[in-house]
Structure 1
């Protein structure tokens, strides 16, 4: 069965670093990547743009990109949006034997023990970890997290196809210093984002004046 891979995030805004990760995962795992903007993320401050707007930007960014699709399910859920609930919903849809994976950044993995029912995630899906520059994955992990990940790590994409859940794979991809936080600050200050955004997303942000961007500010 084909792997069902979900890339969750606030995408506030989606940028070229996000697209590079999604395409690297698509190619490495030979599957479609479902980009899923979060609804009300309980583990961080509210996003700068509302869910519908962030979904629109994701749709603009992936338009015409093979193997990348938008999944709006978390935006359509009422109340707080927990990953464990999303994965349980997906598991009920695709069945118990279909391989399911959740793609997250290394910083999210390191914060995993603070997530709601985080230990249940491993029974629902694999984790695919996209590293960031300066990632601490090669350093000593917190004891609780290290114990939970013991014997789950794999270097082989095929291991994610051979069972429905429970493995953890580090995604080899071009590391990017692009940051949504820095992009929002640049937009607010009227500083050009220097090609860090897909052109259609940059145009939409300036058209709508998102993140304090001026309608005619340089891209």
Structure 2
């Protein structure tokens, strides 16, 4: 990095995105604004070790690409879909992903791992979670469901890693499980505002989330 050039501030937002929906995009947009990020990476998990029965990784990657392509320009122009976990064999561990991104962007980059308040509570259950502070800051999205005294402060941390911060995001009562249930029932109309049109078309074309037919 040349003298006088500010270190890039990069948000790392990982998930299964099964399917990607409005709350994912709202969290990303809020993080870009509140955390003063230059760039945001949607890291699509390849083989999530704490979740089972997820859709195939190539489908989830394509859906995330379609969702971002239809997002507002302010998000679309500063975000990208990252596939490094799909290209790495074995379980997808956040510690490995952050280590890879640290090598890619260098020691001066400010990396911020974006997680929800529910994930923040469960952080000690993550594989090698004690390695995360050396690689990135932890930025917790306040979804208005966690007591304020259980959240990190709002003040942006100094340095390139090791701090914790919380940021506000719009309150959106939405879960991927509920969306998959509606899709399995063929109810596209009630969730049309929550999933990008091209993503819904992809789900239909590839028959994702369909319930297995009973044998006649």
User: TM-score, length-normalised on structure 2?
Assistant: 0.85
Partner-residue secondary structure (3-state), 1:88: helix
Decide whether aligned partners of structure 1 residues 155 and 139 sit closer, same or farther in structure 2, where only a CA change above 3 A counts. closer
* 2:97 aligned with 1:97: no
Match of 1:188 among 165, 184, 189: 184
Instruction: Figure out how many residues of one structure are paired with residues of the other and give that number.
Output: 197
Structure 2 CA distance for aligned equivalents of residues 212 and 132 of structure 1: 30
Q: CA RMSD in A?
A: 1.8
Contact preservation (8 Å) 1:41, 1:80: yes
Structure 2 CA distance for aligned equivalents of residues 194 and 200 of structure 1: 11
CA deviations over 1:145-192 (Å, ceiling 9, x no partner): xxxxxxxx44223x3xx4110111112110111111100001011223
Partner-residue secondary structure (3-state), 1:78: coil
Partner-residue secondary structure (3-state), 2:85: helix
Correspondence list, 1:67-146, <5 A: 67-134=78-145, 136-138=146-148
Correspondence list, 1:1-219, <5 A: 1-28=7-34, 29-47=36-54, 49-63=55-69, 65-134=76-145, 136-138=146-148, 153-157=152-156, 159=157, 162-192=158-188, 193-212=191-210
Aligned to 1:148: none
CA deviations over 1:110-151 (Å, ceiling 9, x no partner): 1111111111101110011123353x353669xxxxxxxxxx
